[in-house]
Structure 1
Amino acid sequence: MTAAEALDVLNVRPQTLYANVSRGKIRAKPDEADVRRSLYHRDDVLRMARRTNGRRKVEIVSSEAMQYGDPVLPSAISTAADGRLYYRGHDATALADSASLEDIAALLWECTPAEAADIWPVSSDTATVSDDEVVGGALAAGLFALARRSAVDAPSLGRPAAVLRAEAAGVLATLVDAMVGKRSGGGDTRISARLARAWHAETHEDLIRRTLVLMADHELNASTFATRVAISTGASLAAGVLAGFTTLTGPLHGGAANAFAELVAQAQAGNADDAVRHWLISQRPLPAFGHPLYPDGDPRAQALLKLLPKVQPHEQLAVAAEQQAGELPSIDYALAVLTTACGLPFDAPFVLFATGRCVGWLAHALEQVQANRLIRPRARYTGPATGVRADIRTRTQP
């Protein structure tokens, strides 16, 4: 943002803006078009503006509630606070040291010890999607399998919580079976072990386990909100997960891995500094760097990167991203480094994201069933003036 734009959003004097920059609360950099001016980091400015939301009109606050910052739904599942991610009050990075994805599912789904013991291991009760049926890899296979199940599963509304928790394990199994295949079964039945076997990466199973735990939930992101909206209608758990899964087709949520792969290719063809510079000039969001909830760095990325070797040109891109944009690696960057360092298949970041996050989608689905309330926000109308008498007949009519 320019200074004028930042001041308009913050509704403060220039001295206050400059003071926030000097205190490190708002990042700034020289404007390449005019080195005498500065540009101010949009996310930092919006975050500061939200802290003074008492000055804003109610309708503005309500509209911004659909964006980062103001909660739109009460939830006891996870939260990002003070630069950390918590699952039901537990630090997610600490849980990743020893917990399995199944352990996190039991925590987020509020399973009793007896339930947790009964629902694992589980295999999907739907047919495995074969390579002959679906072209398009893990994404297409997951969409196809969840759609099949959504067409026949019972609605979620009014069913016992214990029954739904057991069904949730089956929905998770449906997605895993579709994306990696039942051929990954046998031996250790934990999901992390199944992925490691499917990828011939058994020696890296612990890193895969940690990654799945760190991906399990992340507040009310786009996919989670889509899941809750679907479940609020009484749709089945599978349909709710399908709604969340479809959002991963969008480049702004789930598409960071592909965009970062493009950035890596540009760095390999030239150098990291130029790749980042050209990307920023194109005014596209820099993939795999920066996160509005973590201005001091994504703790999930930090938890993984400290266990991984430095790989190139990824490390060079991280340096360039911080120097040119003030952005630090996000979890998407860590997934890319993990994939390269461990020799995992190209779609491993997507599979890890979707598999881990499915646990969170299901947790939010179960919570929404208990809320038993339709999610139906109002629109802030911005069209033509209302109440104007108009003739809807076309001009060609007599």
Structure 2
Amino acid sequence: MTNKHSETSFFITAEEAADQLGVSRATLYAYVSRGLLRAHPTDSDSRRNCYARDDVVDLAGKRRRGRKPVDIAKSTLDWGMPVLESAITLIRDGQLYYRTNNAVALSERASLEDVACLLWDLPQADELEITPSVLPDGWHLLKAHYAKVPIIEALLPLFAIASEDGQTGIWQCDEARLASGAATLLGALFACITGCCPDRHPLHVQLATAWGQGPVGADLVRQALVLCADHELNASSFTARCVASTEASLRMAIIGGLAALSGGRHGGMTERIETAWQAIDPDNMTAHIRRQLAAGVEFPGFGHPLYPQGDARAKALLGSILPDFRFADEIVETMRALTGKAPSIDFALVAMRRYLGLPEGAAFCVFALGRSVGWIAHALEQRRQGQLIRPRAVYVGPDPGSSA
């Protein structure tokens, strides 16, 4: 290492830092992405970083002092240190990476199928194709039954039925068949969104066609799907991992992911944004939002704990929309001026839906279809690790030994 400080003992390598902390390199990098440790570039190789010895010693001390069960539970489950090790996704310095590939850069050219191949890391996945799935008898009647139900509520029960094939346990025991089997699950989710069985065209093209879009719309949908594919240990991906850790099927992991995604603090945020957007007085937007903020009601979809300088995913997707969508641009600029907060990917998905005139609920559907690739990746990784996820609770109720 030839960092100008390395001639002293002030700086150590990543290997030495990980060893002193007693963690893997992946966890060391996670500490950096969380702002718990600072990485310093070396002069000889921009791809390698070094770490201040004093910073590492200080962090190691904090970890030793915080090993009480209560401290561990509080730090790991509330935007703290990672609870699991993963090689799938990294968030660092305001950027998102899929297996070391910058997600925003990937979104400029890749399809969701390309990203699935990358994240799943499976044999036979290099030429992934979403083949038509066989929908069970009566499924279209069920789809018609749920037609008047918001898609955020209908998608899970529809997928649970559409993905039943009786062969799940068989192909999931065969590593060579996992890629095609997982692709069939994506196809089933696509069918639930559009009502059509997938063909052999890329999923973004099929979605765009189903929604009456041309090449411009198809490319925006493609970009959104890629940007939604994974986001480290978010609530739905963690749920999928918990399900997979019990040796449940990939299908069940997706069902768990869909349940978590529907919540208003996750994928259901898109519905909250739609409601807030609809309520805006278009003739006096700034005053409307200012009154809401004064009443303690924030416009949803702005600010993200992992992106203090703004969500890179939202910036990429909105970059193709805001120049031609004045109303959305005014919302962004008003929120920036009043709160200093930048839009999140949830806001960007709603802006895309409205810009293209997609059906109601399409923002959530794009989120779900894209993120299902990540759920499968996390489920596969958790199964390979072979560990049951079973955190302990910090009991805060009455002491059972106390008198009534």
- TM category, shorter: 0.7 to 0.9
Distance 2:315 2:91 in 1: 15
Tell me the residue number matched to 2:244: 231
> With structure 2 as the length reference, what TM-score do the two structures score?
0.77
Offset of residue 132 of structure 1: 2.2
Matched length: 340
- Quote the Cα distance in structure 2 between the aligned partners of 1:294 and 1:214: 15
Using the alignment, how far apart are the partners of 1:192 and 1:359 within structure 2?
A: 14
Distance of 2:305 and 2:294 partners within structure 1: 21
1:251-262 to structure 2, matched below 5 A, reads 251-262=264-275
The DSSP-based 3-state class of the residue aligned with 1:164 is: helix
Secondary structure in 2 aligned to 1:294?
coil
In the aligned structure 2, how far is the partner of 1:315 from the partner of 1:169?
A: 37
Pick one of 192, 201, 209 that aligns with 2:213: 201
Deviation string, structure 1 residues 117-176 (Cα, Å, up to 9, x no partner): 2x4131223335443232414334421233223695645998233333322111111111
Give the CA deviation at 1:243: 0.5
What is the Cα deviation at residue 365 of structure 1?
0.8
Measure, in 2, the Cα distance between the counterparts of 1:270 and 1:48: 42
Structure-1 residue corresponding to 2:396: 382
C-alpha contact (below 8 Å) 1:65/1:72 kept by paired residues: yes
Q: Is the 8 A contact 1:155 1:237 kept in 2?
A: no
Specify the code of the residue in structure 1 equivalent to 2:106: L
Instruction: Kindly indicate whether the alpha-carbon contact (under 8 Å) linking 1:289 and 1:328 is maintained by their aligned counterparts in 2.
Output: yes
Give the Cα–Cα distance (whole angstroms) in 1 for the partners of residues 157 and 202 of structure 2. 24
Query: Residues 321-372 of structure 1: CA distance to partner in whole angstroms, max 9, x if unpaired?
Result: 1222221011112112212222222222111100100000011111111111
Shift of 1:111: 2.9
The answer to whether the 8 A contact 2:152-2:361 is kept is: no
Which of residues 283, 293, 305 is equivalent to 2:306? 293
Task: Give the equivalent residue in structure 2 for 1:248.
Answer: 261
Is 2:359 the partner of 1:350?
Answer: no
Specify whether residues 153 and 312 from structure 1 end up closer, same or farther in structure 2 by C-alpha distance, changes over 3 A only: farther
With over 3 angstroms needed to count, the CA separation of the structure-2 counterparts of 1:290 and 1:110, relative to structure 1, is same
> Is 1:64 aligned to 2:75, yes or no?
yes
174 and 356 in structure 1: CA distance in 2 versus 1, 3 angstrom threshold:
same
Query: What is the alpha-carbon distance in structure 2 between the residues aligned to residue 153 and residue 374 of structure 1?
Result: 24
Change (3 A) 1:268 1:161: farther
Any unmatched runs of 5+ in structure 1? 1-46, 391-398
* Distance verdict in 2 for CA 1:96–1:82, change over 3 Å: same
Matched residue, 1:5: none
Is this contact kept in 2: 1:297–1:330, CA < 8 A? yes
What residue in structure 1 maps to residue 120 of structure 2?
109
* C-alpha RMSD over aligned residues: 2.6
Structure 2: distance between partners of 1:330 and 1:196: 23
1:144 aligns with 2:154: no
1: CA distance, partners of 2:118 / 2:255: 22
Q: How far is the alpha carbon of 1:67 from its aligned partner?
A: 1.8
Q: CA deviation at 1:305?
A: 1.6
Structure 2, gaps ≥5 residues long: 1-33, 39-58
The match for 2:343 is 329
Percent sequence identity is 37
- 1-side partners of 2:83 and 2:297: how far apart? 27
* SS state at 1:230 partner: helix
Match runs of 1:73-84 below 5 Å: 73-84=84-95
Measured in 2, the distance between the counterparts of 1:389 and 1:205 equals 66
Instruction: Report the Cα distance in structure 2 between the residues aligned to 1:347 and 1:207, rounded to whole angstroms.
Output: 16
Q: Shift of residue 306 of structure 1?
A: 1.6
> Deviation at 1:89?
0.7
* 1:190 counterpart (202, 226, 248): 202
Cα contact 1:226–1:244 (8 A) shared by 2: yes
Asked whether 1:161 is paired with 2:175, we answer: yes
Change (3 A) 1:64 1:284: farther
The residue type paired with residue 341 of structure 2 is E
1:123 to 119, 122, 132: 132
Residues 230 and 155 (structure 1), Cα distance of their counterparts in 2 relative to 1, 3 Å cut: farther
Name the amino acid aligned to 1:266: A
CA distance in 2, matches of 1:216, 1:158: 21
Equivalence for 1:13:
none
Aligned pair in 2 of structure 1 residues 167, 151: CA closer, same or farther (>3 Å)? closer
1:11 counterpart residue number = none
Residue equivalent to 1:341: 355
Q: Provide the rounded CA distance (Å) in 2 between the counterparts of 1:222 and 1:156.
A: 29
Is residue 156–residue 236 contact of structure 1 (8 Å, CA) maintained in 2?
no
